[in-house]
Amino acid sequence: MKKQYDVLVIGPVSLDCNIDYEGHERREVGGAVVASGWAAARSGARTAVFTKLNSADADVQERFDGSGADLYQAPSAATCSIRNQYLTADKERRICTSMGVCDPFRFDELPDVDAAVYHFAGLVYGDFDGALFAEAARHGKVAVDVQCLLRHVEADKSMAFHDWAEKMQYLPVIDYLKTDAAEAEILTGLTDRAEAAKLLHSWGAKEVLITHNTEVLAYDGERIYTCPIKARNLSGRTGRGDTTFAGYITERQHADIRQALLYCTALVSLKMETPGPFRGARQDVLDYIREFY
């Protein structure tokens, strides 16, 4: 019998170089799969992570030690690497430069497991294509963070955001779609987050999650739900959206939208107070909810 998971998080790790607005540099193995994998597993979900990299570049197993997630990996000619230079203390503005791009992901590379949700946590355009989402939808629910469909590596290695050309074709296979406020505007042309969520749903996405530095918004076609972020500091701002989405996806498997939104917003509020992925426990999030919500 195949191994059973609540979520299979899929995407490249990244050799990150993060430089804060004061010029302090931090190097680490990061990427959406790190923040998402830790958040899902530490929240109590049966979690698998599938990533690709050149094994000569990093020991990725070490990055997930203690997370509780099972790690699967495949080789890539190059390892994704991104330089993030933050321009402000709140880390809302940054300049991203690509230092390496992972090989594209294929469905036949994924581990032979049963997953309730396939969580696509990519970093740049080309990591995944719509056909991969469509194939995954034949096996489980599909969750997509839209960043990797909008963020393109330009010829000069800078990174720029462009609309997803195939959105009308593939949004209907996505059960959970996550964007931030800026990405939602790129996709829809709308600055109003609630209206953008409604439009994305009308185009086929079944549940839409939009993150903002003040709140997280969810929409299921019936009503708009919001929950405020209450982080007391932003020292762990990197990985905010990935943590939020992972918390929401896993919580939705046993809770309604309002409860899932509360959990994931409290989770990311707590996570942002400490650099790195969320290393706490589910009970820590529940205690945070009782204290601050």
For residue range 84-101, what is the model confidence (pLDDT) as tens digits?
888 887 777 788 899 999
Phi, psi (deg, nearest 5) at residue 49? -120, 130
Q: What is the mean pLDDT of residues 94-119?
A: 95
With b meaning 16 or more CB within 10 Å and e meaning fewer, what string describes 212-240? eeebbbbbeeeeebbbebbbeebebbbbb
pTM here is 0.95
Q: Are the CB atoms for 263 and 253 separated by under 8 Å?
A: no
The whole domain housing 269 covers: 4-292
pLDDT tier at 223 (50, 70, 90 boundaries)?
Answer: very high
- Partners of 97 in beta bridges: 83, 158
Q: What is the mean pLDDT of residues 161-187?
A: 98
> What kind and span of H or E run contains 246?
helix 240-251
In the predicted structure, residue 270 carries a pLDDT above the cut 90: yes
* Residue 46, domain CATH: 3.40.1190.20
Average pLDDT, the chain: 95
Number of domains in the chain: 1
Nearest to 180 by CA among 230, 227, 146, 157: 146
For residue range 175-185, what is the model confidence (pLDDT) as tens digits?
999 999 999 99
What does the alpha-carbon distance between residue 238 and residue 115 come to, in Å, rounded to a whole number?
A: 27
